Chain A
Amino acid sequence: MYSLSEAAHQVPVIDPSAADGTFSLLWLVIGLPLIGAAVLLLGGRATDRWGHWLGTLASVGSFVVSVLLFVELRGREEAERSVTQHLWDWIAVGDLEVGLDLLYDPLSALFLLLITGVGSLIHVYSIGYMEHDPRRRRFFAYLNLFVAAMLMLVLAENYVGLFLGWEGVGLASYLLIGFWQHKHSAAAAAKKAFVINRVGDIGMALAIALLFTTFGTTSFSAISEVSGAAEEDTLTAVGLLLLLAACGKSAQVPLQAWLLDAMEGPTPVSALIHAATMVTAGVYLVVRSNFIFELAPHAQTVVVVVATVTLLWGAVIGCAKDDIKKALAGSTMSQIGYMMLGAGLGVAGYAFAIFHLITHGFFKANMFLGAGSVMHGMNDDVDMRRYGALRHAMPVTFLTFAMGYLAIIGFPGFSGFWSKDKIIETALAENWVVGVLALLGAGITGFYMTRLMLLTFLTSKRWKDDVHPHESPAVMTVPLIVLAALSVLGGVLLLGDWIVEWLAPVVGEAPHHEPPLPIIVITLLTVAVVAVGVAAAWFLVGRREVPLTPPQDVSFATRAARADVYGDAINDVLVVRPGAATVRGITAGDRTLVDGLFTGGSSGVKAVGNVLRRLQNGFVRSYALSVLGGVLLVVLALLAVNLA
């Protein structure tokens, strides 16, 4: 079976220096969007008119600070690229001491740029997208809250701080999925996301508790120093709990079911939270906890298995969805599966997982915003069967979307080509079964993305006459163009192995593994498999007439894919129904037994009270008699005890 034992010893210790100079601005990165959210939420309607500008400004300001910090960090020696800022003592209970500490190192630096950069673009885009929504100010407040929480997540220096951000993004995600709460489906989707994430959060909380009882601290730097001394079983348990948390947040099997429903949220939310940033938090968690996973090979194995299953699961779902956003959501699941696979491969894969995470952030945000732009022009219809031939009506959207498309399928030269190829290559080098499955996933990706592209922009026009597709305003297309450029050029991060060396101080250097085939062969093979997928889509979708309603006489595989590979059905049988039965049982017990005891007890007390109350008749003689009785009681008690 898969194992990484020989790599398991070079876990870099996190040893940050105190923040000074430019780095003392670190808190501002979180502070700006947080202040933005506070002003917009507390300011109420008074801020309606300029609220979206303030929100965007806060995000852009945060991006500027991130860039400054990044430049400063690059100027430092490799060994010095880790700074920490202590804001204040947060929790001090018994032995548990947690400071609100921030950690800025090459890993969080990349995340800062991604979150604030893509975040700012999406803020700009939302100005146009949400223009006619009466609650636009609130939307920007939530977006700012999300950005602040996500930054807290990636900047925290300890697990408790990370948990704060973790819960913060969960809250923001809940609020934004259910933003159109008047729609029943949106409210239900928000609830579903929240509940499933709760399962993951339990894993997180337990992991933190276990870390604290094992190491007496929750700080990354302190644990990374001593994690080698812990027993492997403990580390495996911590690793599995962290994986559970990651599964919840990153929609990995078995906690994947919420992501498709989360598309009920406004499209910019899908782009920012449910594609580019928040859902990748699980990958961040695994990479950040490398000092745990490197020493817990069994947990790593589970990560790889979960990732491989998810990347296929999501890809299969993506093949059958007619809803453009759900097809993209399936693809997101699948791509995060790739990242998780990279992270599960250990030192050899961490850097590529992060690399793919960043390029995916670019091209997936690009495509989601493109989908939003399409919906904007199509009266918010999401059914691709009623699209077709939109390339003429929306040329900018089409071209930018096409860049994203080429990136995700891994067209040579585009960003996705470099990043996904690296993960497949590493997987093949480590374990050929996983590698082949990842390769297969790439082929399916080629199929479903081509299908989406064909249905939407090519083939024949299928929309009704009362729909007038039109290009979106500049405030929406400019972010698309920027993201499209990034989708094309994202691969430069790999030039001269830059990202690998940049992350090396955090994730360690990989010992060289010879892949089973020459690299050029693997690359060609990948391209060939993708080409097969694209061709299949062309023959099955592009060359045929597309029916307006989905055909029913389809294969079992299609039916399964349409039903999200039965994710909800499985949850229903395994969790929901037994849970509901338990609740019914407990409620019945509560009503008869507990309430019965309680009401019975209280009426008993009242009855006794009413009897005793009659003794209080207001006559001094009765009271005196009672005193005399008391004297007898006291004296007899004393005598009985002592003289008996």
Chain B
Amino acid sequence: MDFVKPTIEYAELAPLLIVLGGACLGVVVEAFVPRERRRLVQVALAAVVLVAAFATTIWVATDLAEVADGAARGLLAAEGTIVVDGPTVFLWGLVLLLSLGGVALFAERRLEGGVSAFAGQAAALPGTEAEREVSTRGWEHTEVYPLLLFAVGGMMLFPASNDLLTMFVALEVLSLPLYLLCGLARRRRLLSQEAALKYFLLGAFSSGFFLYGVALVYGFAGSMQLAAIAEAVRNDTENQGLLLVGMGMLAVGLLFKVGAAPFQGWTPDVYQGAPTAVTAFMSAATKVAAFGAILRLFYVAFGSDRWSWQPMMWAVAILTMVVGAVVAVSQTDVKRMLAYSSVAHTGFLLTGVLGVQGAGELAEGQVTSLQAVLFYLTTYGVATLGAFAVVTLVRDSNGEATHFDRWAGLGRRSPWLAAAFGLYLLSMAGIPLTAGFVGKWAVFTVAMSAGAWPVVLTAIASSIIAIFFYVRYIRIMFFAEPEAGPDGLPGEVASVTTPSLLTSATIAVGVLATVVIGVVPGPVLDLAARAGDFIR
């Protein structure tokens, strides 16, 4: 049997390889570098790897060849299993930037009095002598950095995969490190471990559906390649049932990852239980990657058959927005509120996804659905990362104070931080002059022009409901007095712990981006437009 050496386009895949290589290197560091120097080396390594990957991403982006008469740019790499095209590099850049913010939050040590927010030793049972010993020695888990890099590698591969099997592998590569990271909180460890286990169980469950979907679609098309599937969808009329059920199963796997209803059950529990730094990273970057995969799968593989899946997306989008917005209203915990808000945003993003139209139906210069979703992901990612970063700073004697009563009057005690949080919330609510407004405008317009007016109407109604629970936080922070406790004395209120430069810089950059993109959205919209179409 001949063994043919596969061709690997190293130059174009460099960002991906750098991240995964860096992750492997991180594991080696964990084994060989002494404990006291490990954190510094790991943080530096992660930061350097992400920056280097981002730099090479830009380099790759400027160098992509045009294909399909200039409608798209890029190439198929690694024997056609990975595709490096405009949307891929856009998503790579976005994931890398958000991950850089994630690393900064992971590395923050000033909030817990000199240690990180992660458990000293995951294996030490909560409440035992072993845990106390680890705690007194000041150990910490530095494995979180390689884990983060592996997850980032998976997130980069996910939207770039050009066949179903690669996509599945990417899904697992990004998910498994996240399950672990969720269980590593230093405080409230039981809650954290419970969250990790729930996430793992449900993730495995939905992965099963995805894999089943892969099998069914393969049965229909006889190939894993997205292009071949698209070909089969166009030409074959046999076995429609196989295709439709397979499509549904694949959709379930992906919709689970983005937290669409009714697959959103894990979101609030996991967002609440995970260390907030992980929540910040996960909620921002995972959504970017998973929506990249949804876009590629449904636009490239099933694009010619969009009439069959659009109604399903309508139903899911409507349900997701309503559930996210309505349940968020009755939340009293800031992390759960943000979790439901992220569910609602998933609905808005799906509104953009289902706004796809054929090239001929678009007016000249109109924003495409791909462009709109990419833009929305940018605004959402920045605001979410920043909002959770703020949550890490608002603390009382028990660690992070996430109950909203504790936030009363925060605006008077720490006006700048409260203003930053308020700005992120306004951006999520889609108030003009913030980035979120332009994002919402973009996805609503594309859905409207595709005729999905019932979805857009629901989206607008949900936005109105959403404004209520966002603005309620602003009211609590700036206009409410702290409530009296049961003993009649003023209740305990949260105060802001001064962070190191890492967290402050993340928050400040997020604020700046939110305002700048809100006031001058042109450059980012242009960038999303320049990314062009997927390579089919």
Interface residues of A (CB under 8 A from B): 602, 605-606, 608-610, 612-613, 615-616, 618, 620, 622-624, 626-627, 629-631, 633-635, 637-639, 641-643
Contacts and interface: CB of A to CB of B under 8 A. Distances in A.
Grouping DSSP codes into helix (H, G, I), strand (E, B) and loop, the B interface class, with mixed when no group exceeds half, is: helix
B309 A638 contact: yes
Contact of A626 (B245, B265, B312): B265
A156 B17 CA distance: 63
Interface string B313-357: 001100000010011111000000000000000000000000000
Contacts of A624: 201-202, 205
A643 B244 CA distance: 10
Given A627-B202, A638-B245, 9 more contacts: A620-B198, A623-B266, A624-B205, A626-B262, A626-B265, A627-B263, A635-B244, A635-B248, A639-B244
A641 B309 CA distance: 8
B388 interface: no
B421 interface: no
A638 B308 contact: yes
A641 B306 CA distance: 12
Contact of A606 (B197, B323, B330): B330
| Most chain B CB inside 10 Å of its own CB: which residue of A616, A630, A643 | A630
B468 A635 contact: no
B308 A641 contact: yes
Which interface class (under 10, 10 to 19, 20 to 34, 35 or more) fits B? 35 or more
A427 B262 CA distance: 83
Given A605-B465, A633-B315, A638-B245, A623 B329 contact: no
26 contacts: A606-B330, A609-B330, A610-B330, A624-B202, A627-B205, A627-B206, A627-B252, A627-B263, A627-B265, A629-B262, A630-B262, A631-B209, A631-B248, A633-B262, A633-B316, A634-B252, A634-B255, A635-B245, A635-B248, A637-B248, A637-B312, A638-B247, A639-B245, A643-B240, A643-B241, A643-B244
Interface string B188-209: 0000000001100110011001
A602 B309 contact: no
A244 B255 CA distance: 62
B251 interface: yes
B490 interface: no
Given A627-B206, A631-B248, A641-B312, A613 B262 contact: no
B308 A627 contact: no
B478 interface: no
Nearest to B247: A638
A637 B315 contact: yes
Contacts of B327: 609, 612-613, 616
Contacts of A606: 329-330
Nearest to A642: B308
Contacts of A615: 265
B311 interface: yes
Contacts of A629: 262
Interface string B238-256: 0011001101110110011
Interface of B: 197-198, 201-202, 205-206, 209, 240-241, 244-245, 247-249, 251-252, 255-256, 261-263, 265-266, 268-269, 307-309, 311-312, 315-316, 323, 326-330, 465, 468
| Shortest beta-carbon contacts, A-B, top 5 | A623-B265, A635-B248, A637-B312, A609-B330, A630-B262
A638 B465 CA distance: 30
Contacts of A623: 198, 202, 265-266
B263 A630 contact: yes
B328 to A, nearest CB: 8
Contacts of A639: 241, 244-245
B265 A622 contact: yes
Contacts of A602: 468
Which of A602, A631, A643 has the most chain B CB within a 10 Å cutoff? A631
Nearest to A602: B468
Contact of B263 (A605, A620, A626): A626
Contacts of B468: 602, 605
B287 to A, nearest CB: 18
Contacts of A631: 209, 248-249, 252
A634 B316 contact: yes
Nearest to A618: B269
B507 to A, nearest CB: 29
B326 A608 contact: yes
Nearest to B251: A634
Contacts of A641: 307-308, 311-312
Specify which of B240, B245, B265 lies most central, judged by the most chain A CB atoms within 10 Å of its CB.
B265
Contacts of B263: 626-627, 630
Contacts of B248: 631, 634-635, 637-638
Nearest to B269: A618
B262 A627 contact: yes
Given A618-B269, A641-B311, A630 B255 contact: yes
B305 to A, nearest CB: 9
B251 to A, nearest CB: 5
Nearest to A609: B330
B164 to A, nearest CB: 17
B253 to A, nearest CB: 10
Contact of B244 (A618, A622, A626, A638): A638
Nearest to A627: B263
A312 to B, nearest CB: 52
Contacts of B262: 626-627, 629-630, 633
A635 B247 CA distance: 8
Given A612-B323, A620-B198, A642-B240, A605 B329 contact: yes
A612 B344 CA distance: 14
Contacts of A638: 244-245, 247-248, 308-309, 312
A631 B255 CA distance: 10
A613 B269 CA distance: 12
A609 B328 CA distance: 7
A629 B248 CA distance: 12
Contacts of A608: 326
B315 A612 contact: no
Contacts of A633: 262, 315-316
B331 to A, nearest CB: 8
A616 to B, nearest CB: 6
Nearest to A630: B262
Contacts of B244: 635, 638-639, 642-643
Nearest to B319: A633
Contacts of B202: 620, 623-624, 627
Contacts of B315: 633, 637
Nearest to B212: A631
B470 to A, nearest CB: 14
Contacts of B269: 616, 618
A642 to B, nearest CB: 5
Nearest to B309: A638
B266 A616 contact: no
Contacts of B311: 637, 641
A612 to B, nearest CB: 5
Nearest to A616: B268
A227 B218 CA distance: 73
A635 B265 CA distance: 19
B465 A635 contact: no
A245 B74 CA distance: 62
